[in-house]
Structure 1
Amino acid sequence: MSEKTEKTTPKFDPTTTISAEFGIFGIPMTEEESKVVLVPVPWEVTTSYGEGASRGPQIIRDASEQIDLFDIEVGKAYEVGYHMRELPEDLMQQNDKYKAIAQELIGMRTSMSDDTAKMDKLAAEVNAACEKMSQWVYDQCSDVLNKGKLLGMVGGDHSTPLGAIRAVSDKFKGDFGVLHIDAHADLRVAYQGFKQSHASIMYNVMTDAKKPKKLVQVGIRDFCEEEYDFSEARPDIKTFYDLELKRRMLKGETWEKICQDILKELPQNVYISFDIDGLDPAFCPHTGTPVPGGMSVDQIFFLFRELHNSGRKIIAFDLNEVSTGGLEPHEVEWDGNVGARILYKMCGWLAKSNA
C-alpha cells in the first residue's frame, strides 16, 4: 500500500531550482507522475474585438514559475502533481491561418459587402476549422480523463471548451452542472456567421447532445435580448446578472449569502468554466472583450472555497481569455501573473475536491 501511495502522490522539494522545460508552476513532474493535467488550447479564430487570447496559455505558463507553491487554503495540494502538456504547434498554425480568414469575413460584413457567395464560403471554412478544433480538444481531454487524471483546460478564447465539456459529459454521463463565470452570457446562436464563436459557447453547450444538467452563470453584464430570452426560457439555466449582484451587495447583503444562493442552483458535480473577463477589467485589462463591472479575484476565490465547503465536487475546469491584447508577452506580465494565480487556485481546489 505504501508503494502505491508514493506512486500516486509523489513528493518533491519545492525549494529545488526548477528547469523551464517542465509543464507548469515549475513543478518537476511528468504527466505520468501528475494527477492534474492541463490541456493548452492556443486558439482565437473567431475573436471579434481584442486579440492575443491564443497566447494565453504561454503567458500563463511563463508567469507560473514565480508562484509560491504553499497555499493557505489548499495547503500542499500541489504534491499530487500538476502538469501542462506542450503547446500544440499544429493547432497554433491552424489558428493563425483561419483567424486571417475570419478577419477577412468580419471585414466584409462590417463594410456591408454584397458578395454573399464569398462570405458564405469563408464562413464555412472557419466553421469547419472550429469543429476540428473542438474535436481535437475532445480527444485530448478524453485522453486525460481516460488515464484517470484530473482535467483542466487552458484557452484560448472561450469557444475552446466545448470539446472539454463533451469529454467530461461522457465520463460523468451528463450528471454535472457548469458554473460559468463571465462578463458575457455567450448564448448567441451564432455570431458574425460563426457557429462556434466565443459568443456562442454556452448556447452550444446547452443545445448539445452531451449537455450538462444545469448551467449557472455568474457576473453576466453584457448580453443581447436573444440571449436574455433564451436564458429565461430554460429551467436548466440560471443567470446571476452582475447588476443584480451589485444591487444586493449595495443594499447590505454579504457576498457569503450571495454565494450560498449561487451554489444552491448547482448539482453535486461541478465543472467550472471561467472567462477571465468575468473579473473587473483592472485585473486582466488586455482580455479580448473587457466590460466595466465584474468581480474581484478575492470574491472568486471565496466562491471557490464555498463551493468546496458545500460538499459539491469540482470535476474539471477551463480558464480562458487571458490575453496579450496584441502586445508582446513581456508587455502584459500583469495579465499572465493574474491568470497563473487563478489557474493555480483552480488546480488546488480541483485536487482537494478529489482527494
Structure 2
Amino acid sequence: MDLTHFDPNAPASSHQNIFGLPFGEEDARVVILPVPWEVTVSYAAGTARAPEKIFTASMQVDLYDADAKDGWKKGFFMRHPDKNILLNSDVMRKQAELYVHCLLEDGNPGENAFLKNNLQKINEGSEKLNQWVYEQTRALLDQGKQVVLLGGDHSTPLGYYKAIAEKEGSFGILHIDAHCDLREAYEDFRYSHASIMYNALKEVPALKKLVSVGIRDFCEEELQVAENEGERVKLFFDRDIKERLYEGDSWKSICDKIIAALPEKVYLSFDIDGLDPRLCPHTGTPVPGGLDTDQVFYLLKRMQESGRRLIGADLVEVGFAPEEWDANVGARVLFKLCNLLVKEV
C-alpha cells in the first residue's frame, strides 16, 4: 500500500481504522476479528462491548514500537463487530442469568422445563458461535492473513484454535490468565468461558502443549484435569513465580523455563485478567496478584528470540468501563500482539 501521504506522527483520525491506520482488510497483514460474546460470564459482564471501546482508545496509541519498528506498515485492520452476534449474546445472557440464579438458589434447574430449554438454547448457540468463529478465521488464514481474535469472553477463540490447527498442524498455547479454565461444563454451560482450555484439550487434537502462566484462582477439579493430561499441560502459578522473584530469581530465568515448555509453533491466548487488576479493574473476574504488561511483553520477546513462532493470538475479557482505562490497556496490548505477529514474517 502507498503510505506516502500518511503521517505516522500526526494525531490519529477516527475516520481511519484501528490505531488510526489507513489500511483496508485487503491491504492488511493482520486482521483483528472482534467477537462480541459473553453469554456464560459468571461474574461481571461488559466484555462483549469491549471491542468498540478498544477501537476508540486505540487512537491514542503511538505507532512506534521498539521491538518491531515499522511493524504497523505491514497493515493492521479491525472489522466492525457483528451486530447479530452481539444481539444473540445479549439475549442468551439474560437466559443464562435466569438459569444460574435457579442453579444457585434451588440447585436443580433441570426440573424446570423452561430453564432446561434455555440451557439447551445456550449450548446450541455457543456451538453456532464456535462454528462462526471457525469459518471466519479459517477464511482469513486461507487468504494468508494473520489473525488476532478480540473478545468477548474467553469462550470465544475455540473455533480459531480448530482453524489454526488445520492450517499449522501441531502447536502449543501460551495461556496468560488468572484462571486455569479447565472446568468441565461450568454452571452446566458446555462452552463456558471457564471451560475454554478444557474444551481445547478435548476437541483440538493438534494442541500438543498448554502452558498457562499467572494462574492464581482455580479449583481441585482443574488441578486433576491438568494432572490427568500429564506433560501436555504445564501450569506456572502466580504464587510460585512471585516467591521465586522474592527469593532472588530473575524474571529472565523464569521466562526461560516457561519458554522451554513450549513447542516451536505457539498460539497466544491472553486473558487480560492474567494481569494485575490495577491494569484491568473491570475485567469479568478480577483476581489480586498477577503480571505486569512489561513482564508479559518481555516473555513474548524472549520466546521469539528462542526461535519459536507466534502463529496466532486472542485478547479476551477486557472490561467495559466509562473511563476507558481498561480499553486503554487493552488497546496497547492489542498493538503489541499485532506487532509481534508481523515480526515473524
- With normalisation by structure 2, the TM-score equals 0.96
Counterpart residue type for residue 47 of structure 1: V
The structure 1 residue matched to 2:338, chosen from 341, 347, 350, is 347
Aligned residue runs from structure 1 range 66-81, under 5 A: 66-81=60-75
Runs of 4+ in 1 over 6 A off after TM superposition: none
Residues 191/177 of structure 1: CA separation in 2 closer, same or farther (3 Å cut): same
Say which SS state the counterpart of residue 257 (structure 2) adopts. Answer: helix
Say which SS state the counterpart of residue 192 (structure 1) adopts. Answer: helix
Q: Which deviations, in whole Å up to 9, do the C-alpha atoms of 1:68-126 show, x marking residues without a partner? A: 10111211100000000111011011111111100110111121155524332221111
Give the Cα–Cα distance (whole angstroms) in 1 for the partners of residues 212 and 204 of structure 2.
Answer: 20
Say which SS state the counterpart of residue 73 (structure 2) adopts. Answer: helix
Give the Cα–Cα distance (whole angstroms) in 1 for the partners of residues 192 and 156 of structure 2.
Answer: 9
Q: Does 1:334 align with 2:325?
A: yes
Give the Cα–Cα distance (whole angstroms) in 2 for the partners of residues 18 and 65 of structure 1.
Answer: 5
Give the Cα–Cα distance (whole angstroms) in 2 for the partners of residues 259 and 242 of structure 1.
Answer: 13
Q: Does 1:300 align with 2:296?
A: yes
Counterpart residue type for residue 272 of structure 1: L
Give the Cα–Cα distance (whole angstroms) in 2 for the partners of residues 152 and 280 of structure 1.
Answer: 22
Give the Cα–Cα distance (whole angstroms) in 1 for the partners of residues 6 and 159 of structure 2.
Answer: 33
Q: CA deviation at 1:350?
A: 0.7
Aligned residue runs from structure 1 range 107-146, under 5 A: 107-112=101-106, 114-115=108-109, 116-118=111-113, 119-146=115-142
Give the Cα–Cα distance (whole angstroms) in 2 for the partners of residues 164 and 209 of structure 1.
Answer: 10
Q: Does 1:20 align with 2:14?
A: yes
The structure 1 residue matched to 2:197, chosen from 177, 197, 202, is 202
Residues 120/306 of structure 1: CA separation in 2 closer, same or farther (3 Å cut): same
Say which SS state the counterpart of residue 332 (structure 1) adopts. Answer: coil
Partner of 1:270: 266
Q: How well do the aligned residues superpose, as a CA RMSD in angstroms?
A: 1.6
Q: CA deviation at 1:290?
A: 0.4
Give the Cα–Cα distance (whole angstroms) in 2 for the partners of residues 229 and 154 of structure 1.
Answer: 30
Q: Does 1:163 align with 2:154?
A: no
Partner of 2:59: 65
Q: Which deviations, in whole Å up to 9, do the C-alpha atoms of 1:120-154 show, x marking residues without a partner? A: 22211110011111111111111110110111100
Give the Cα–Cα distance (whole angstroms) in 1 for the partners of residues 287 and 161 of structure 2.
Answer: 25
Q: CA deviation at 1:229?
A: 1.1
Give the Cα–Cα distance (whole angstroms) in 1 for the partners of residues 245 and 267 of structure 2.
Answer: 26
Q: Does 1:236 align with 2:227?
A: no
Counterpart residue type for residue 224 of structure 2: D
Say which SS state the counterpart of residue 160 (structure 1) adopts. Answer: coil
Unaligned runs of 5+ in 1: 1-5
Counterpart residue type for residue 196 of structure 1: Y
Q: Does 1:286 align with 2:282?
A: yes
Q: Does 1:153 align with 2:149?
A: yes
Partner of 1:310: 306
Residues 114/176 of structure 1: CA separation in 2 closer, same or farther (3 Å cut): closer
- Identity value in percent: 45
Say which SS state the counterpart of residue 286 (structure 2) adopts. Answer: coil
Equivalent pairs counted in the alignment come to 342
Task: Name which of structure 1's ranges 301-310 and 267-276 shifts more when overlaid on structure 2.
Answer: 301-310
Partner of 2:100: 106
Partner of 2:44: 50
